[in-house]
Structure formats: C-alpha cells, structure tokens
Amino acid sequence: MRVFFTRCARFARSDPNSTHLPRTRAFSHMPHDFQGKRPPQTASPAGYAWIIDNFDLRVPTPRRLTGILNTHHKTDQRGWLLLTPKHAPKPTLATHLEFALKWEGVNLAVLAALGSALCFAESAVLVRVLPPVHPVAMNAVGMTAGAAALLAGGVVAGESFVLPEGSATWAASVYLVTLGSVGVFFLYLFVLGRWTASRAAYAFLLSPIASISLSAWLDDEPVGPGLVVGGLLVLAGVYVGALRAPAPPAQPEVGVARGRW
C-alpha cells in the first residue's frame, strides 16, 4: 500500500503543473493486466488508468481505458483506446486529468475518490498555512458544512430520512459523533499544530493497526502471521517517515589558509 494521503499532501503544496508525482510505468513492467483488463499491446497508462495506478484509487475499473503506444498507429479495441506518443500527457495530475476528460469523458467514481482525498490533504495544508483557529470552532464549521452537504446530497438522491430505533444503533451514532468525529478531529488538529502536513498524513497508516487490535480484543478476530508482519512493516515505515529525527545538515569544512612567514 502506498502512502496515498502523503502523496496528496505533497501535491496539494506543490504547483499543479509540477512533475513531482511519479512518472508513468509501462504495462510491460506491471502485471499482465490492469485490474483484470489486458491491454492488446504494450503501452503506458494514461488518463484515468494513470491516476488510478499512481494514487492507488480503490474504484471500479473504467469500461474504457487509455494508454500510450510506442508506435504511431492508434487503435481502439477490447476496451482500450491506445494513442500515439504525440498524445502523451506530461507526468502530472493536471495533464492526465485533462487528458482523461478529453478522451474518456467524466468518471464520477474516479473524480469523487480523487477529489475527496485531495480536499482532505488540502485542508491539512490550509490548517498549517492560515492563521490559527480554535479547534472547537473549526470543527463546528467543518461538521456543519459537511452535514449540510450530506443532507443536500441525500435529498437529491431521493433517500429517506428516518431516526434509528435500536439502542445499539443510537450508541454507535453517539460514539461516531462524539469520539469518532469530534474527538478524532480535535486530536488531528493537535497533531497538525506540531507536525507538518506530510508527517501528519502517516497517521492514516496506523488506523488499520488500531482496527485490527480492537477487532481481536472485542470481536475475537483471528490475527494471522501476515497481519503481524504487515503491521510491523507499517510501523517501521511510519517511524522512518514521520517519527525519526532528520539528519542534521552537514557543516561545511572551514579551510585554513597557509602562507609564508
């Protein structure tokens, strides 16, 4: 698993046309297919395929994918639109997104997944950049705006609004509203006040470890050796990326002038 939110935070602080994002990889260097869809010829991912691959988006595979060939004869077959090198976008999110909208149309699943992550990463950067605001006030404004957006979306989608009936459902809702939302948001702002946005993004890698530990304790979920080894690797990555103190800058050597007496 790649450090998805770290990449998004790094992108949010950079120029939209910068080339700090990873460059494309040819399909010959990837598995035999792209999420179950085998390209008819060797090509490099472009558009939504590039975005899904580089940001590890967990979205349904688009019905039509695009790639860039090494030849000068484009083809459209078996769910792949393969274009010539002159159509290749630069290895940036902005150019691949523009390419995808032009050649593949609007894919709401990809845009929603990418937009939510970028908005969350951008919010972490804004917390660091803008003048400090009390966490309670920021949480109240953010939660109110989010609730209004969800209610509006539910009305547009035609969903019905009913109050929960079971006591367990009420207990879970109270936990999510208090500790799961307000409490976690307050703690995240506390971390952002002391760490950079990129370092704070590593906190998301610790969430699965906490979930596994609580599931093993409360639900007797078995924990196999794969989870243990994977958890140790995640902890090691968090330590290297977020907790380890950076190396001190090298001090320039001061030369001693030699002269004649």
Residue 13 contacts residue 197 (beta carbons within 8 Å): yes
Q: Which of 153, 143, 75 is nearest to 108 (CA)?
A: 153
pLDDT of residue 26: 44
- Give the mean model confidence (pLDDT) for residues 161-179: 87
Compute how many other C-beta atoms are within 10 angstroms of the C-beta atom of residue 23.
Answer: 11
| Statement: residue 109 has pLDDT above 80 | yes
pLDDT of residue 20: 43
Residue 143 contacts residue 176 (beta carbons within 8 Å): no
Is position 242 within any domain? no
Residue 37 contacts residue 80 (beta carbons within 8 Å): yes
| Statement: residue 242 has pLDDT above 70 | yes
- Give the mean model confidence (pLDDT) for residues 168-190: 86
pLDDT band at 102 (very low <50, low <70, confident <90, very high): very high
**Between residues 238 and 253, the one the model is more confident about:** 238
pLDDT of residue 237: 83
Is position 163 within any domain? no
pLDDT band at 101 (very low <50, low <70, confident <90, very high): very high
Share of the chain above pLDDT 90, in %: 7
pLDDT of residue 1: 39
| Statement: residue 97 has pLDDT above 60 | yes
DSSP 43-100: -EEETHHHHHHHHT---PPPSSEEEE-SSS--EEETTEEEE-GGGPPPSSHHHHHHHH
Q: CA-CA distance, 195 to 211, in Å (whole number)?
A: 24
Is position 16 within any domain? yes
Is position 223 within any domain? no
Please give the tally of structural domains in the chain. Answer: 1
Positive/negative CA dihedral, 25, 28, 34, 37: positive
- Give the mean model confidence (pLDDT) for residues 172-179: 87
Range of the domain at 87: 4-112
Is position 199 within any domain? no
Share of the chain above pLDDT 70, in %: 80
pLDDT band at 9 (very low <50, low <70, confident <90, very high): very low
pLDDT of residue 32: 47
pLDDT of residue 251: 67
Strands 80-83 and 44-46, how do they pair?
A: unpaired
Q: CA-CA distance, 33 to 45, in Å (whole number)?
A: 11
Rounded CA Rg of the chain: 24
Strands 65-68 and 80-83, how do they pair?
A: parallel
Residue with tokens 């968090």: 238
Identity (one letter) of the amino acid at 170? W
pLDDT of residue 252: 63
The two three-digit tokens of residue 87, written as one number:
């159509």
Max Cα distance, the chain (Å): 97
Identity (one letter) of the amino acid at 18? S
Considering the entire predicted model, what is its pTM? 0.56
pLDDT of residue 216: 87
Q: What is the mean pLDDT of the chain?
A: 78
Is position 171 within any domain? no
Question: What are the pLDDT digits (tens) for 22-81?
Answer: 444 444 444 446 666 777 777 888 999 999 888 888 888 888 888 888 888 888 777 888
Exposed/middle/buried for 83, CB within 10 Å: 0-12, 13-18, 19+?
buried
Q: CA-CA distance, 54 to 20, in Å (whole number)?
A: 12
Is position 30 within any domain? yes
Q: Which of 168, 182, 25, 183 is nearest to 91 (CA)?
A: 25
The two three-digit tokens of residue 175, written as one number:
């936990």
